[in-house]
Amino acid sequence: MSTSYGRGFRQARGRGGRKRGRQGHGQHYSGAQPAKHKGLCAALGNHVFDYGHKAAADQMRTTWEKIVHHVGTIYGQDISNELLNKKKEILPELQYTQDIINKHNRKVERHATQTARVMEAHEVQRLMLQETVNTGTNADSVMELAILENEIEEAIFQEEQDIPVKLTDIEDIHYKN
């Protein structure tokens, strides 16, 4: 027994009984695409570690490259190379040129000479103030002596501190390169 649907059915379905045109999905239907995951770092965007689909290995590789690039832009090329090569890089210790060392040594010597000169003057001044305090001729001399002794103590402390090497802008660029 055959069923006849009539002429309208065959025209709507077309040849072979298939429907023509869209199947009711609407104008902006894009099909079934996987959901995009977003990471916590906005600079990396959709580059996240994800698994469970066919392209997971490729996505992981490109995500790792993006992470390495992002870290390199923030912290420098050295850490970027370590992450990319997965080997610890040993950075050579920076060495000052002989000119910079000589200039620093002259600065240290000059500072020591100036400090010794001021210390001698402070000591003479301290002895004179001590004499004034002992005789009691000036009431303010006790306070002046205390202030002077504090200055002497501070000068001794400063003399014990290391003087840092200061570089000009050009020397700093050459040193870091």
Q: pTM for this one?
A: 0.44
pLDDT at 59: 76
Spans of all domains in the chain? 37-91, 98-176
**pLDDT tens, residue order, the chain (177 aa):** 555 555 554 454 455 555 555 555 566 655 555 556 666 576 766 666 666 777 777 777 887 888 888 888 888 888 888 888 888 877 677 788 888 889 989 999 998 999 899 999 999 999 988 988 888 888 888 898 899 999 989 988 988 888 888 777 777 777 666
Distance in angstroms (rounded) separating the CA atoms of residues 101 and 94: 13
